[in-house]
Amino acid sequence: MKHNKKLKDLEKRLIKLSSFAVAFSGGVDSAFLLAVAKKINPQNLLAITVSSQFVPKREIESAKKIARSIGVQYLCLDVDILKNTDVVSNTLERCYYCKKQMFSLIKQAAENLGIKFLVHGANLDDLKDFRPGLKAAKELGFYSPLVDAKYTKADIRMFSRQLGLETWDKPSQSCLATRIPYHEKITIKNIIMVDRAESFLQDLGFIQVRVRCHGKTARIEVEPGLVDRILNNDIRQKISKKFQKIGFEHTSIDIDGYRAAV
């Protein structure tokens, strides 16, 4: 009963908007938000994704597929984020400048289609982390109904499973720029290296993975329970050879495993 009440509360908040666009990444949070939005049958509903060098192409394709499976009108906008000097300089405010540009594009596209209200999938757990992008979203008038309805990540996964969404157990994602240490300039070269490295590891079965790029050194993080597997000699040798071809001179494995911040 308590669970049903929480879902109804979110629906009531969305009904008040009547017509709105969802900043849609195809991840667990935005997919759940979009599915609930579709459920209330608003006057106008649009899912908008922004494609940049920081988002793997496979994630863009996945977002399109998920939006269509939910049955919502979908729009993908392209941006050359590496032309934004505030972003590539990679200060602690990088995420703010990046989200400011991307959410501005979403807002403009929605307004051009006569859609006034904008929402995004931030949840309560996001407020505990260092996320300058949330400030940009607020400045541009985006609502965060999952925060207002007090949804945690665990809530979202639970309800997503109840709704039959394929994203309910999807690993957490973050943009590729988070793999580059702050104050180290972001280039198309290091972004491509990270993307190729992570894609290779995912093909090996390491789904929740991060490849931190420290110049020409890669530091791999996998789920703690899979650290022993990645240390297997055969797998290690495959990774070493592949990463050298990608452009990394040295490869290390974090024995503590992946930590969920980014």
Task: Please check the confidence at residue 260 and state whether its pLDDT lies above 50.
Answer: yes
Q: Is the pLDDT of residue 261 over 70?
A: no
The residue range of the domain holding 194 is 187-253
pLDDT digits (tens, 9 = 90+) for 151-187: 999 999 999 999 999 999 999 889 999 999 999 999 9
Asked if 84 and 203 sit in the same domain, the reply is: no
How far is residue 55's CA from residue 76's CA, in Å, rounded to a whole number?
12
Q: Which amino acid is at 257?
A: G
* Of 17-31, 112-126, 135-149, 247-261, minimum mean pLDDT range: 247-261
Clarify whether residues 131 and 243 are in a common domain: no
Tell me the pLDDT tens digit for each residue of 109-122.
999 999 989 999 99
SS3 152: coil
Q: Is residue 108 part of a domain?
A: yes
Q: How many domains does the chain have?
A: 2
How far is Cα 248 from Cα 262, in angstroms, rounded to an integer?
A: 21
Same domain, 149 and 214: no
What's the burial of 211, exposed, middle or buried (CB within 10 Å: 0-12/13-18/19+)? buried
Same domain, residue pair 123 and 198: no
Please indicate, yes or no, whether residues 162 and 207 belong to a single structural domain of this protein. no
Instruction: Kindly state the average pLDDT of the residues 111-139.
Output: 93
The answer to whether the beta carbons of residues 149 and 13 sit under 8 Å apart is yes
Instruction: Assess contact for 36 and 22: CB atoms under 8 A.
Output: no
User: Which domain-ending residue is among 169, 200, 226?
Assistant: 169
Residue 171 CA to residue 121 CA, distance in Å, equals: 16
Q: Residue 202 — φ and ψ, nearest 5°?
A: -65, -40
Q: Considering the domain boundaries, does residue 258 fall inside one?
A: no
Average pLDDT (2-11) is: 84
**Do 228 and 161 sit in the same domain of this protein?**
no
Q: Which residue has the tokens 């729009």?
A: 75
Same structural domain, 68 and 132: yes
Residue showing tokens 């920081």:
54
End residue of a domain, out of 169, 204, 235? 169
CATH classification of the domain holding 236: 3.30.70
- CATH code, domain with 90: 3.40.50.620
| 1 pLDDT above the threshold of 60 | no
Q: Which is more confidently placed, 173 or 254?
A: 254
Q: Is residue 233 part of a domain?
A: yes
